[in-house]
Amino acid sequence: MRAKIIVNPSSGKQAVQKNLPEIVSALVLDNTITSTSVFYTQKKDDAYNEVKKIKKDEYDLIIAAGGDGTLNEVVNGIIESKSDTPIAILPAGTVNDFSNFLGISKDVAAFSQMIRDYKIIDSDVGKIGNKYFINVAAGGLLTDIGYKVSVDAKTVMGKFAYYAQGMIDLPQQIFKSIDVIFETQKRRVEQKDCIMFMVSNTPSVGGFKKISPHAKINDNKLDVFIIHKPEFGQVLPLFIQILKGEHTNNSKITYFQTNKVTISCNNVEDFYIDIDGEQGETLPITIETVPKAVKFIVPK
């Protein structure tokens, strides 16, 4: 197999990236990989610009060594290139929501075996304008933590860097609400007391493994999850329910599935949303599903 390798050297778990030469050596020695081309990113959009140049049938797989932001760029590059090259994620970020959902191991032997087995699945993506996301678009409470925390803090502190920033921001944000309107072909939801919303492709968002418990990556649907402003005594019980995936019937949650939704905001100007852990567009936006847009190599 011919492999294109994209490495983000500033991703949170640099120890994982150090496993990459051992993985590649093992796969070259047993003739699983016959040729490689390695590209190291230096700044935002480097991975996207490199991957979008790939031609159809030029490579048999792309190994993306990085976090959710790197994966987002690779996915956008693949769709732009129309090469349909399968992606193997080597999870080296701080959270790695999408790869955790797929059950991809960081272990050298397990990851190498996954490449040898070459089991491929199709995945939907979300589309906003001419950009795509693989996991989530979100707005409101704590959704900006992914790009507020510095690269150095992620490298040194790992997930605790997010928790620390969350503890700083939570008291300031928990009771601030926004007036948001969600419109689909079948419904219109105006939520005047929204504190956070997510439109997700998988159940796993921000380290919460069951936040959208009915989500599937190949059902041609996106899961819309809205949290209403809770009373003071409801905050802790609500977050415990979210951790357990038992929150969808809570009166402070609105949850539904759709293949297209338009989101607008009435009371905040320049309201930015987070897209796969990076700062994205401002409201209003229209999000729709693109079915089976990319392929992933997953454990057998």
Q: Is 278 a catalytic residue?
A: yes
Q: Which residue has the tokens 């939704």?
A: 261
Cα separation of 125 and 137, whole Å? 11
Which amino acid is located at 147 in the chain?
Y
Environment class of 111 (CB within 10 Å of its CB; exposed 0-12, middle 13-18, buried 19+): buried
* Catalytic position from the list 183, 278, 281, 288: 278
Q: Which residue has the tokens 């999870």?
A: 91
Catalytic residues: 278
